[in-house]
Structure 1
Amino acid sequence: MEYQLIDADGHYYEPDDCFTRHIESRFKDETVRVRRGADGLGRVFLREGRTFMSVMPGDYASAPGALEGLFAGGVSDGFTHREVINARDYPEFIERTARLALMDEQGLEATIMLPTMGVAVENDMRDDVELTYASLRAFNRWLEEDWGYGDDGRIFAVPMLSLLDLGHAMTELRRVMDAGARLVHLCPGPTGGRSPADPVFDPFWATVAEAGIPVVFHVSNSGYQHFYGNRWSEDPANPSHRQSPLQWALCNTERPLVDTLTALTLHNLFGRHPQVRILSIENGSSWLKSLMKTVDKAAALGRRGPMIGGRLPDRPSLALAEHLWVCPFPEDDVNELIGAIGADHVLFGSDYPHPEGLREPRDYIPRLAGCDAEVTRKVLRGNTAGLLGLRDHTPVMG
């Protein structure tokens, strides 16, 4: 390539103390903690119970891209874990300096960096507002210390926020903004019985819109197995590695994200906050076309009903397309996505170093073989550069 890539979906594996290093003393025995057994595996606890992600994911993981064949071609061999790794043996998965050196080798100018274990714990503590925000504050302070928010223009870690309580959310939002955050993350799905687009949260959305900070919805534990999956004969206590096929289909993949985007659109978030930018990362893209049809049809059918966010436009799908950027799965049809939402709103993501992602970020390039040079550059770097406030320029490689 004549230019370096910008990856919209990079990950780290967290250390044992990511929640405890900076936790306030009164929450130290309640927040997310790791206990290591004789087998060396770290078990994840919240208060005295296990969490949805019951074992530290980096302790027994498949190598980067090891499951690619499963998703791209239906090859099931990836689940045999023939390439098991421990993230602690790979400094580039857990340390910033080593990751920067690897990025140079991989041809990456910059990357958005998201949690592995961190996106799976919020729902388990939502019954306690104070514990939730103390834990998220502690996690974000660890994040600032170990990875940073992109002051160097290269690694852009995303702090974790929650709308469980507006006052706490605004306090932490302002704090991470002052610390230099370029993006913030919300867990998909409802929170505390409310839509994220409920007008009660308008101060949050007005603040991120005015600051030009995109809001990321990354695949997470949204709690659907508790308030939805259990109505379909499933056990809501199943941990992440024991989710059933139906739980994966109904609770853990695209449904929480699609529900969230539907609510943002039909509760008229974009009409009230026209500068808001929403990023969908690691939720795939095959749902987009049907979602566009759904919100337009629903708006027409519900035109005489209450509209808690204000009057909707005739075609709310156009508002959604204007405010949404999508990072597809590596196995998704990127050309179909470009046709549905436009080349300016498609982001390349490798999911590196997760096993369901790519062996290395440049493996994405052949997926754009049918696109012209301008579209290819937008997807591989230009669009994400714009969202991060970076100029779309780079030294020529080689």
Structure 2
Amino acid sequence: MTAASYPIFDADRHFYEPPEAFLRHLPKKFKSQFQYVEVNGRTKLAVGGVLTDYIPNPTFEVVAAPGSHEAWYRADNPEGLTLREMAGKPVPSQAAFHNGAAHLAVMESQGVHGGLIIPTLASVIEARLHNQPEAIAALFHALNCWFEEEVGFAYENRLFPVPMINLADVDTAVAELEYLLSAGARVVGIRPAPVPGIYGTRSMGFKEFDPFWARINESKIFVAMHVSDSGYDQIARWWTAGARNSDEFRPFEKEPFGELLDWMGRPIADSLSAVICHGVFDRFPNVRIASLENGSAWLEPLLKRMENIYHKMPKSFTRNPVETFREHIYISPFYEDPVEKLGELIGFDRILFGSDWPHPEGMATPMDFFKDISNVNEANTQRIMSTNLQDLLTGVR
């Protein structure tokens, strides 16, 4: 483990939420929308009355070991193992996966001082209840109340859970934001995807959402857009849904065509483009957004498209959208991404270290990230590993 003379801040850590995280505070009228059910002796999750395998083991009694998929994502698989084979034997759940004090103890052993705590199971909700915004809001509020009770939103000023907000009804979203601000939240999470509504989906950058962005702007907390089920798997279904030999979905299995489709980069690239093109940062200059666990391979072509479109339609922007991006957007790259290139594109003061611990695709040893940025100079390394997230958490621009 690499020692550092400054505190390490990790922008992408996770809890595996237990059932009570959603059920303890969920009003009775919504309990049928989020159920743990037994199917052939296994507990599955039914959302909106439909079974989902998006999270194959929603109780998280056993999980893939932290970092067990790392070699896969580094493209280091000479034996040609499947992702499931590479994961190996599941490990029992640990207190650190859902308890603040236990998680902090693990962070101490890892050499990490502080970090964001992002829910895992919450990612299934919005895509499966897109036409039931009241139920989404109730589930997110229940989860946020559980976080406040179990951890708080600034536990020992070192653990910072990311509460979730759905924007479908802006008044409800603002009310949730007010509750979270009063509870001490330093960050809120929204899904990188179009916002559902009774007339169809729409951009979170449209002016109808200005009351939400105005309160973010005033409070100077930041918004996290973490990778989620953004509904983009419909692109794969467009190509494969009619196949007569289509295989049944199996979690943690991959196939080449699906991997080639940009299911991860497109949602975040599209979402950030919507926020910029629809003028959020022009109207609310204090808003800052952190892209978490979306990688950065999508960034260079996106910035090139922005530059090109700006010169085609300069009067459609108040300034070059690339400059807007560089001022307001922070990115946590994957460990396999070229961080030096990312620094050239947006500046090292906009890069965040994120380990994704304890997820299997993350890092078993977070401080190993120092090896991945060994070519970055000391000042910029400190920005990535410490200063940038601290500034976001304290409202420094």
TM-score of the superposed pair, with normalisation by structure 2? 0.89
The answer to whether the aligner puts 1:347 opposite 2:355 as a matched pair is no
The answer to whether the aligner puts 1:3 opposite 2:6 as a matched pair is yes
**Offset of residue 81 of structure 1:** 4.5
- Counterparts of 1:121 and 1:223, CA distance in 2: 11
After TM superposition, list the pairs within 5 Å mapping 1:353-364 onto structure 2.
353-364=358-369
Corresponding letter in the other structure for 1:187 = R
**Offset of residue 240 of structure 1:** 5.7
After TM superposition, list the pairs within 5 Å mapping 1:12-161 onto structure 2.
12-30=15-33, 32-36=34-38, 39=41, 41-51=42-52, 53-56=54-57, 58-75=60-77, 76-77=80-81, 78-88=83-93, 90-161=94-165
- Counterparts of 1:331 and 1:185, CA distance in 2: 24
Residues 277 and 317, structure 2, Cα contact 8 Å, conserved in 1? yes
Alpha carbons of 1:153 and 1:199: their partners in 2 closer, same or farther (altered >3 Å)? same
The answer to whether the aligner puts 1:180 opposite 2:184 as a matched pair is yes
**Offset of residue 373 of structure 1:** 1.5
TM-score of the superposed pair, with normalisation by structure 1? 0.89
Residues 35 and 45, structure 2, Cα contact 8 Å, conserved in 1? yes
Judge which range, 96-105 or 71-80, deviates more: 71-80
The answer for the alignment partner of 1:377 in structure 2 is 382
**Offset of residue 82 of structure 1:** 4.9
The answer to whether the aligner puts 1:233 opposite 2:240 as a matched pair is yes
Corresponding letter in the other structure for 2:116 = I
Choose which of 199, 207, 222 in structure 2 pairs with 1:214.
Answer: 222
1:213-261 per-position Cα deviation (integer Å, ceiling 9, x unaligned): 11110000111234x4443333799576567654454463111111111
- Counterparts of 1:238 and 1:127, CA distance in 2: 24
- Counterparts of 2:250 and 2:20, CA distance in 1: 21
Judge which range, 92-101 or 154-163, deviates more: 92-101
Alpha carbons of 1:152 and 1:244: their partners in 2 closer, same or farther (altered >3 Å)? same
Residues 330 and 352, structure 2, Cα contact 8 Å, conserved in 1? yes
- Counterparts of 1:179 and 1:245, CA distance in 2: 45
- Percent identity between the two aligned chains: 32
The answer for the alignment partner of 1:294 in structure 2 is 305
1:286-341 per-position Cα deviation (integer Å, ceiling 9, x unaligned): 1111111111212333457xxxxxx4135211101110000001111111111111
- Counterparts of 1:82 and 1:28, CA distance in 2: 33
Unpaired runs of 5+ in structure 1?
Answer: 305-310, 392-398
Corresponding letter in the other structure for 1:344 = D
**Offset of residue 358 of structure 1:** 0.7
1:8-27 per-position Cα deviation (integer Å, ceiling 9, x unaligned): 11011111222111101211
Corresponding letter in the other structure for 1:153 = N
- Counterparts of 1:139 and 1:268, CA distance in 2: 31
- Counterparts of 2:73 and 2:204, CA distance in 1: 31
Choose which of 325, 330, 333 in structure 2 pairs with 1:328.
Answer: 333
Number of residue pairs the alignment of both structures matches = 381
Unpaired runs of 5+ in structure 2?
Answer: none
1:59-95 per-position Cα deviation (integer Å, ceiling 9, x unaligned): 443211111111113314353055333452x221222
Q: CA RMSD in A?
A: 2.3
1:84-117 per-position Cα deviation (integer Å, ceiling 9, x unaligned): 33452x2212222211111111111101010111
- Counterparts of 1:248 and 1:18, CA distance in 2: 32
Structure 1 counterpart SS, 2:74: helix
- Counterparts of 1:212 and 1:222, CA distance in 2: 26
- Counterparts of 1:247 and 1:258, CA distance in 2: 18
Alpha carbons of 1:158 and 1:186: their partners in 2 closer, same or farther (altered >3 Å)? same
Alpha carbons of 1:257 and 1:240: their partners in 2 closer, same or farther (altered >3 Å)? farther
Corresponding letter in the other structure for 2:28 = S
Judge which range, 179-188 or 258-267, deviates more: 258-267
The answer to whether the aligner puts 1:316 opposite 2:321 as a matched pair is yes
